Every structure is written in structure tokens, then in C-alpha cells.
Amino acid sequence: MNDITAVSGPMAQEEFMDRSSLGLAAAAAAIRGGEITSEAYTAALLRRARTLTELNAFIAIDEAAVLEAARDADKARVAGSAAPLLGVPLGVKDSYLTKGMPTSLGLDGLAHFVPREDADVVGAIKRAGALVFGKNNLVEMSYGLTGHNARYGQVKNPHVRERVSGGSSSGSAASVAAGIVPASLGGDTVGSIRVPASFCGVVGFKPTTGRWPRKGVAPISHTLDTTGAFARSVEDCVLLDQVVTGEEPAEFSDSDYHLKGVRLAFAPRQFLDLVDSEVESRFREAVRRLQHAGAEVVELNLGDDFNALIQTATWGIFAHETRGAISEFLRHHDIPTTFEAIYEGLKPQLRQAWGHVVLPSGAGAISAEAYQTALNVSRPEIQHRLNAAFVARGALVILQPTTPCTAPLIDEQETVHIAGQDVSYLALANHTLSASSVGLPGISLPVGLSRAGLPIGLELDAPVGSDRMLLALARKIEGVLAAEPTAI
């Protein structure tokens, strides 16, 4: 079945290749309506995946299995199935357990581990009719922001191959941006969905922490971990959110893109302090366009110590919880390795980082007292500051550039250059940490390209539990901004 014409029937091969650009909702509607078959659509995506193997976006694709699943979906449609994702292939980050399909967690030592169960979110999309197209590449144990993996290769940015994809959900973002799959599941602890979404020019949705189930997904921090998704439009994220949560579809008018009466906020002293000039220019232009569409945009000052507060608290929680979270996950799911074996097998840079901040004996490890302070003092204070926007000022969302720069060069990813300064690559999460610290829902929208052809993202963060409002507003903002096409 390597030749797409073998399964395409009378429709021209070129038309099927055009179908590979369909978004999730459009593809699902086309399959349900009989305009295309799942088998032919899947074959088109497989062909595209073969032409883009140099991106390293996938660790594993079982072509025979996914084509067989597509044929089964076509039979189900003929029999009357109208499942919301019937016959649509999705990418799945290789930190999600997938029954009968290898799940490596990005590690060499688990390259041949085949789980006996699906992660809860994978089960949800399968019940909705979706197919697992393949397992997306990722940073080892989801511990990184650039997309480098020593065993499976650096995930490359589909826009400029010499640039990073972002991480840790690197292959998930790259595969959606490259048109290999219409959507993919990812995970976000401090920015692992929103950072690569920004760098690759796709929509990245991080729900309120706990809204989407996390069972069966390799963890870092039980306080911060969130499952979520990448797609080409907010509409597609809305559809996935409905499938995973089981909530009734929200009504929305595609023509209703005015923002009259909508109050938005941003904090220039906190989120524009260390930002490349092109990113700031694009952000301010986006704000002007939202104001032109009727939005009221208010400026906030979250406090001179706000960035230091979220950095110290969030990274401290992140590292302190890692060992226990991973150890419990391995035991609970009978995964044939140990935390100690994983640690010993990490690439040198990551092993050094774990030795410094994750191991209790590490020089940078925070104490139990400091950890409790982060949870019980710092996090409530961060939430109190953010409430200045959501409650006192009445803003629906807080806006900021998703990342302070565009995608760095692959050869220069340990230390990145931002606004004339050489800083740690951890600075790539400077803006995403805020929502992660207290579990807010956040979404990154593409807002155009830099002069070098690199995507720039706009992040919207909303109050805890207001995911449906955030998605509805993001659809309006997406329509207002109407970011120019980013052809690859």
C-alpha cells in the first residue's frame, strides 16, 4: 500500500495530497460525509510522513496497522457510525501509553516496551473513532524545551530545518506544522505544549490542570503536569476538548469575530522585559488589531518580584516532584525499568541536571521546607497577583508573547540569544511558567512570521476552570488576527 493511488479509487492523487492539509474537524466531517475515505486519507498522510522523515517527528509509525484501522473505520461509517473523530489519524506523544504499540518515553532502554493499556486520553480519542497514526518524538522523559533527543534525534523545525522545534512535545508540534497529521496529543508541565506550538506555528492548548486525565502519561510533577493538544486551528482544539471531557459542544458563530466589550490584559514589565524586538513588535501589533476589533486592553503590573517568584516556585516544584512521580508511574504500570536505571541512561547533560536538582543529594535540590513554601505560600501569592487581572480588573485573559524569541538554532540551544543577551535555554519558558505555576488554562496562537520566516506565538491565559470561555474567545481572536499562511 505504499502507492497512494492503490487506495485512492477514482479521485486524483493530487487531490488526496491536498487533503493532507485538512484540519481535524474538516477531515472528520469529510470522512463522515463520505467525501473521502479514511483509508485514502491515511495513505496520503503516510506518504507525506515518508517524505519528511528528516524532521524526526516520529519515533514509530506502524503503517500496516494504521491502514488496517482506517479500513475498519470506513466499514464502520458504511454501517452507520457517526463518531466525532471517525477514521482520523492523530499523532500521540511517546510519553502516552498506547496498548499494543511501543512507548519509549524518549528512552533507549524502553525502545521495545509495549504497554498493555492505553492512557486515558488515548482511550478517549479511540472511542471517538480516531486512529493512532504514530508515536511522536520527544525530549527524554519530557525534560527539555528544545526538542533534542540523544536516541531518536533532534526534532527539526518544519519552517527552517536548522532551527529547533521546541519541546518537550517536539515531534507532536512538528508533525502538525508539517501537515503529517491534523492534530497530536502532547503534554505540558512548564510550557512543553505552548513553547513548541509557538516555534512551529501551530495552535497549542494546555487545559486547566486536571481537566484532561493524566493517567497513563509519563509524569514529571503531579502538581504541574497537564495533558493537551496541538492542532491547526482553535476549532480543532474545541473538538478535542469535547471528545476528552465529554462536555456538550459549545455554540459559536464563525462570523462573530468582533471583540466589543471584551476586556483583555497584559503586563509589559513582566512579559516584555526580556523579549526580542521582532517578537515584541508582532505582539504589540496584535494588541492594536484586537483593540481595533473592539477589545479593551488594560496594562497591569504584577510586581517587580513576580518573575522571580514564579521562577523559584515553579522550577522548585517541578524538580522536587520528579523522582517520586516517575517512580510511582513505573510501579503502577509495570514498566520494566527503574528511576535509577533511567537516570544512569540519560544523555550526559540531562543526567547532570537531574543529579543537580532532582536527586535529593543534589547541590541544587530544594529542601522539603522550601518545597512546602512553594506550594503553600508562593503559589497562593502568584494566584493573588493574577487575580488582579481576572477579578479586580475584569479581564477575561492575560496576553503575552508565548516565547521571548523565535526558534533558536539547533547548534546554539544550550545558551540562547534573546534581546542581545546570552541566557539559559530555560528562558524559553519564561512566559509559559505563569499559567503552569497555578494550573491556568492557556493557548498559544500563531500570529505570523519573523523576517527570517520563523513563527511567532501569542499566548492567552485564563482563570482556572474557564477553558470553554478561553477556547471561544481564542476562536474570535484567531479570526481577528487572521495570521498569514505559513507555507512550508
**Residues recognised as catalytic:** 93, 168, 192
* Main-chain phi, psi angles of 82, to 5 degrees: -130, 35
Dist CA 307 CA 400 (whole Å): 13
Answer yes or no: are the C-beta atoms of 129 and 73 closer than 8 Å: yes
Identity of the residue numbered 380? P
Q: Residue 204 to residues 1, 231, 304, 452: CA-CA distances in angstroms?
A: 33, 7, 29, 22
The grid cell for 179 is 501537515
Which three cell numbers, joined as nine digits, stand for 355? 543529579
Q: Quote the Cα angle for 66-120-251, to 5°.
A: 90
Residues 6+ apart with CB under 8 A from 376: none
- In three-state secondary structure terms, 114 is coil
CA dist 2 → 9, 47, 69, 179 (Å): 14, 7, 16, 18
CA dihedral sign, ordered 461, 462, 464, 466: negative
Nearest to 349 by CA among 139, 46, 91: 139
Q: Are 422 and 459 in contact (CB under 8 A)?
A: no
In this structure, what C-alpha cell is assigned to residue 115?
504497554
Cα 257 from chain centroid? 25
